[in-house]
Amino acid sequence: MKAAVLREVNAPLSIEDVQTATPGPREVLVRTAAAGVCHSDLHFQNGSYPYPLPAVLGHESAGVVEAVGSDVNYVKPGDHVITCLSAFCGHCEYCLTGHMSLCQEPELSRGPADAPRLAVGGEPIAQFLNLSSFAEYMLVHEHAIAKIREDMPLDRAALIGCGVTTGVGAVIHTAAVEPGATVAVIGCGGVGLSCVNGAEIAGASRIIAVDTVASKLELARKFGATDVVSAAETDAVEAVREMTGGGVHYSFEAIGLKATTEQAFKMIRDGGTATVIGMIPVGTMVEIHGPEFLREKTLQGSNMGSNRFRVDMPRFVDFYLAGKLHLDDMISSRIKLEDINDAMAALETGEVARNVIMFD
């Protein structure tokens, strides 16, 4: 199969012929239909988050089951599925206490004594986040997929695999935004737009989108933003606090920067909660004014929207088909696998929400 391989940090991905192993007892072979190019992929390409190389990147995808292992009964060939990087084991402390997105059990990957899932001419290729979706096929553990209805377009379903689940989940699961609350979202890429959309679904009374790019702020209005703030033209913290009479109940940082994380905390009112969704680079320290905690302010993180993805993803599909999730406007363009390096470069500019690789 053709796949995009990262061999060196800060180097272009190369399109190579990669061999996929035969499914093991609890593994599923998925024919990739669509894969979103997410900013998280860029973090690993540029070394902000170290990862074993060579590797096939990609983690936001949907496809059709091609084959299943002997012990798999959740799906069968022909089923449509969305993948999820936060695969779950189902029996560790995190899974058993309802924090499946934090599961790190090694059994979800093949062991060092097993044949690798991916290889090039006998050379093992690292599987990225249990998935590696910049490839024509994905060989994954059965607990890395969610089965969905077949009338859902797979290019839009792919977005649910990461950005939508992360953004909407952060609102409804991690922060538990209640109807009538005020919300600010910093960063209007795919995750931020999903956060705005999630706040609309949750019934927030005011949703303030913050970004430096005018076109993305305009797009945020389509996703449910009631107000927008251009951080390129004004002090975003002062603007949000003035608009809300002292700050929002909930803020969300969807970029992954020290400065915007600190801004998110400064935007909340007394008793408010700031949730960091963006991937802040390894080694970065965030500074918070200590006495603010006496005002019962909360700064928290969110991993993949604190998801229960086998429940959440089919529901998000229903939301889209009912007109509640605005996925059509999130796709900036549909591209081929060969265009992957252009798509990765576009992430640097911040001008796009999502480029989606189409395999069919």
14 flagged as catalytic: no
- Residue from 59, 80, 141, 173 carrying the catalytic annotation: 59
> CA angle 83-168-126, nearest 5°?
30
Q: Does the annotation mark 38 as catalytic? A: yes
Quick one: how far is CA 214 from the chain centroid?
23
Using CB atoms within 10 A of its CB, is residue 52 exposed (0-12), middle (13-18) or buried (19+)? exposed
Secondary-structure percent of the chain, ordered helix, strand, coil, rounded to 5 = 35, 25, 40
CB of 158 closer than 8 Å to CB of 62: yes
Q: Please list, in sequence order, all residues whose beta carbon lies within 8 angstroms of the beta carbon of residue 70, skipping any fewer than 6 positions away.
A: 25
Q: CA separation (Å) from 37 to 12, 42, 283? A: 14, 9, 25
Neighbour count for residue 321 (Cβ, 10 Å): 14
Pairwise CA distance, residues 344 & 307, whole Å: 26
Amino acid at 150: E
Give catalytic status of residue 289 as yes or no: no
CA distance 346 to 93: 40
Given the DSSP bridges, would you call strands 123-124 and 118-120 parallel, antiparallel or unpaired? antiparallel
Candidate list 38, 103, 188, 195, residue with the active-site label: 38
SS3 letters for 235-247? CHHHHHHHHHCCC
Catalytic residue among 84, 103, 162, 188: 162
Q: Active-site residue numbers?
A: 38, 40, 43, 59, 162
